[in-house]
Amino acid sequence: MKKIVFIGAGSVQFTTAVVKDITTYPALDSSEICLMDTNEYRLKEITKCVERIKTEMGSAITITSTTCRKTALIGADAVIVTVFNGDVDIWRHEIEIPMKYGVNMNVGDTRSVSGIFRALRNIPLMLDICHDMERICPNAFMLNYTNPMAMLCKAMQTYTKTDVTGLCHSVQGTARMLCEWAEVDCADVSYTCVGINHMAFFTELTANGTDLYPILKAKIDQKEFYNKEKVRNEIFKTFGYYVTESSGHNSEYTPWFRKRPDLIRKYCSPAGANWNPGEYAFSLNLRKDPNRFDSLVKSFMEKPLEKARGHEYAASIINARIGDGTLFHFNANLINNGSVENLPYDACAEIPVTATKDGYIRQFQGKLPSNVAPLVAYTASIENLVVEAWKKKSKQMVYQAVSLDPLCSAVLSLQEIREMCDELFEINKDYLGDYQ
């Protein structure tokens, strides 16, 4: 029996989607699904959701649950990680303190000042999980969904021996969106998407050999389509390649959209937009609702179960590696090692790979287009600096990384950045330890 472990299983939408997908693979359908979460109430409720999946899918999976990570990892073959070191109040401070200084954040989990401090908080937890895996289940592999993806994967792949890669929804989600805009069947579409997490670009995008970019350029000239993704469409209009991840997230990663209130109103307003146009504290506000978890559980338990396989990568990767061995192509977060020649060699890149029983085979060797490479390489270099700052426990290097951040540098002076960081160090003192 294969054992698939969920560390941080309390995410209703994610855990249920992946478990359901696992049951659609015959080679995995007799696996043990071990749910681990430190919150006993959430663990009990998510276990009920998974038991419903087992019943309605007619599945042979075995379901276990525990609040002990080490117990969960005994005998594990695959480990899926979705964790958060801290609580909503910590996240709130990491959004509200920058706003006090004029840095307006949308999500704050991946880059800019909030993403940097989240990395400093989460790296120790992620390394603890990896070290537990090294001792308890050394042959298991990890699929990480925790943000900030690139900085966490860089740290884990540099400082542990764990077989780990990071996964994101943005590549396949954006591909589906662009197929819809271009009015083509996704099954007919081929693409190459390369860069870093949340800042990868579709360097090739075709349907049955036809380049879709001319069609998409015409589409975004229409107000209906332009308004759906104002930030990403502006980047596309200037640079000619479409970027992964929502407009709201991308508005935090560059100096062009959030440095003035008028720009935020113009490019990050909700009118006609997709799910995340860029409003202040968007994701944080969703999680402030104390009833949100119970509402999600109630909705899942009451609505009809969608039995078709979904769009998450995890189950297909697990099937390739420990199931029937069917190869699976996806974009993975791995140390670059020269795959993308004009990105830092030791940065964490997001590149096309193939999952096999023996691991991941890289499917890209080349360069990013010269017009987008500087933006991606600059951001990757900041991420490298943050991981180095964590390793050296250097407050000065954190100042430097935040000072180089495109949004912070567009809004604040160097002195203001140091003062803002000092407030964030104080808020995070129970998680960060002693930075000098």
329 classed as catalytic: no
Question: What are 78's strand-pairing partners?
Answer: 4, 141
Interatomic CA distance for residues 71 and 64, integer angstroms: 11
Residues in the chain, overall count: 436
Chain centroid to CA 236: how far? 22
Beta-sheet pairing, 141-144 with 163-166: parallel
Name the residue type at position 49.
C
Interatomic CA distance for residues 402 and 423, integer angstroms: 13
In the set 93, 169, 198, 329, the catalytic residue is 169
Nearest to 66 by CA among 44, 83, 49: 44
For 403, what's the count of Cα atoms within 13 Å in the CB-facing half-sphere? 13
Q: Are 90 and 28 in contact (CB under 8 A)?
A: no
Block residue for tokens 């180095």:
388
Interatomic CA distance for residues 83 and 383, integer angstroms: 20
Interatomic CA distance for residues 402 and 412, integer angstroms: 10
Block residue for tokens 């990868």:
200
Interatomic CA distance for residues 103 and 332, integer angstroms: 31
Q: 7 phi and psi, to 5 degrees?
A: -95, 115
Interatomic CA distance for residues 367 and 377, integer angstroms: 11
Q: 255 phi and psi, to 5 degrees?
A: -90, 5
* The two three-digit tokens of residue 368, written as one number: 């990013």
Whether omega for the bond prior to residue 304 falls within 30 degrees of 0, making it cis, is no
The stretches of 146-229 forming alpha helices (DSSP H) are 149-159, 170-182, 213-219, 223-226
Q: Are 349 and 339 in contact (CB under 8 A)?
A: yes
Q: Is 204 left (phi over 0), alpha (psi -120 to 50) or beta?
A: beta
Measured at the CA of 418, the angle between CA 396 and CA 286, to 5 degrees, comes to 110
Catalytic positions, please? 169
